[in-house]
Chains A and B, each alone.
Chain A
Amino acid sequence: MDKKIYERPILRKVVEGIPNKFGSLKRLRPIESIDNVLIDNLIDQYGSPVFVLSEKTIRETYRTAYRAFSTRYPKVQFAWSYKTNYIDAVCRVFHQEGAWAEVVSGFEYEKALDNNIPGNKIIFNGPDKSEEDLARAINNKSLIHIDHFDELYAIIEMLDELKERPQVAIRVNMDTGIVPQWDRFGFNYESGEAWNAINRILTNGNIDLIGLHIHVGTYITLSKAYATAIQKLAVLATRIFERFQISIGYIDVGGGFASQNTLQGAYLPATDTTPSFDDYAHTITTAMTSASFPNNETPTLILETGRALIDDAGWLAGTVLANKRLADGHRAMVIDTGVNILFTAFWYDHEIYPVHETSFQSEPTTIYGPLCMNIDIIRKNIDFPLLNKGDRFVIKRVGAYTMTQWMQFITYRPNIVLIDEKGKTHVIRKQEDKEVFRRQEMIPEHLKVN
Chain B
Amino acid sequence: MSKLNSLAISDNGFIFKPATGESFTTNEMGLFIINLLKEGKSGDEIINAITEDFEIDNVTAGRDLYEFLDFLKRENMTD
Residues of B within 8 A of A12 (CB): 24-26
> In the complex, which of the residues B19, B64, B75 contacts A9, with contact meaning CB atoms closer than 8 Å?
B64
Kindly supply a per-residue 1/0 record for chain A positions 1-37, scoring 1 wherever the CB is within 8 Å of any chain B CB and 0 otherwise.
1011111111111100000000000000000000000
Is B54 touching A3 in the complex (CB atoms < 8 A)?
A: yes
- Flag whether A267 is at the interface (Cβ < 8 A): no
Is A9 touching B24 in the complex (CB atoms < 8 A)?
A: no
Is B20 touching A6 in the complex (CB atoms < 8 A)?
A: no
Is A9 touching B21 in the complex (CB atoms < 8 A)?
A: no
> In the complex, which of the residues A6, A7, A11, A360 contacts B75, with contact meaning CB atoms closer than 8 Å?
A11
Residues of B within 8 A of A4 (CB): 53-55
How many angstroms from the CA of A147 to the CA of B18 in the assembled complex?
63
Residues of A within 8 A of B30 (CB): 9-11
Is B26 touching A5 in the complex (CB atoms < 8 A)?
A: no
- Flag whether B2 is at the interface (Cβ < 8 A): no
Residues of A within 8 A of B19 (CB): 357, 359
A11, A12, A359, A360, most chain B CB atoms within 10 A: A11
Is B23 touching A14 in the complex (CB atoms < 8 A)?
A: yes
Question: Which of A339-359 touch B at CB < 8 Å?
Answer: 357-359
- Given A3-B53, A13-B75, A357-B76, the answer on whether A8 and B21 have CB atoms closer than 8 Å is no
- Given A9-B64, A11-B26, the answer on whether A357 and B54 have CB atoms closer than 8 Å is no
Question: Which of B31-64 touch A at CB < 8 Å?
Answer: 32-33, 50, 53-56, 60-61, 64
Kindly supply a per-residue 1/0 record for chain A positions 409-420, scoring 1 wherever the CB is within 8 Å of any chain B CB and 0 otherwise.
000000000000
How many angstroms from the CA of A359 to the CA of B32 in the assembled complex?
27
> In the complex, which of the residues A9, A13, A357, A359 contacts B29, with contact meaning CB atoms closer than 8 Å?
A9
Residues of B within 8 A of A360 (CB): 20-22
Residues of B within 8 A of A359 (CB): 19-21
Is B20 touching A357 in the complex (CB atoms < 8 A)?
A: yes
- Given A12-B24, A357-B76, A358-B20, the answer on whether A6 and B68 have CB atoms closer than 8 Å is no
Residues of B within 8 A of A11 (CB): 15, 24-26, 30, 68, 71-72, 75
- Flag whether A41 is at the interface (Cβ < 8 A): no
B9 to chain A, nearest CB (A): 11
- Flag whether B28 is at the interface (Cβ < 8 A): yes
Is B24 touching A7 in the complex (CB atoms < 8 A)?
A: no
A370 to chain B, nearest CB (A): 29
Is B26 touching A13 in the complex (CB atoms < 8 A)?
A: no
Residues of A within 8 A of B75 (CB): 11, 13
Is B65 touching A9 in the complex (CB atoms < 8 A)?
A: yes
Q: Which residue of A lies closest to B23 (CB)?
A: A14
- Flag whether B27 is at the interface (Cβ < 8 A): yes
Is A9 touching B22 in the complex (CB atoms < 8 A)?
A: no
Is A5 touching B21 in the complex (CB atoms < 8 A)?
A: no
How many angstroms from the CA of A8 to the CA of B50 in the assembled complex?
11
Residues of B within 8 A of A13 (CB): 22-24, 75
Is B26 touching A6 in the complex (CB atoms < 8 A)?
A: no
- Flag whether A361 is at the interface (Cβ < 8 A): yes
Q: Which residue of B lies closest to A361 (CB)?
A: B21
- Given A357-B76, A358-B20, A360-B20, the answer on whether A9 and B53 have CB atoms closer than 8 Å is no
Q: Which residue of B lies closest to A13 (CB)?
A: B24
Is A10 touching B27 in the complex (CB atoms < 8 A)?
A: yes
B residues with a Cβ closer than 8 A to A are: 15, 19-30, 32-33, 50, 53-56, 60-61, 64-65, 68, 71-72, 75-76
Write 12 A-B pairs (CB below 8 A) sorted by A numbering.
Answer: A3-B54, A3-B55, A5-B54, A6-B56, A7-B27, A7-B28, A9-B30, A9-B33, A10-B30, A11-B26, A11-B68, A357-B19
Interchain residue pairs A-B with the least CB separation, the first 4: A6-B56, A9-B29, A14-B23, A9-B30
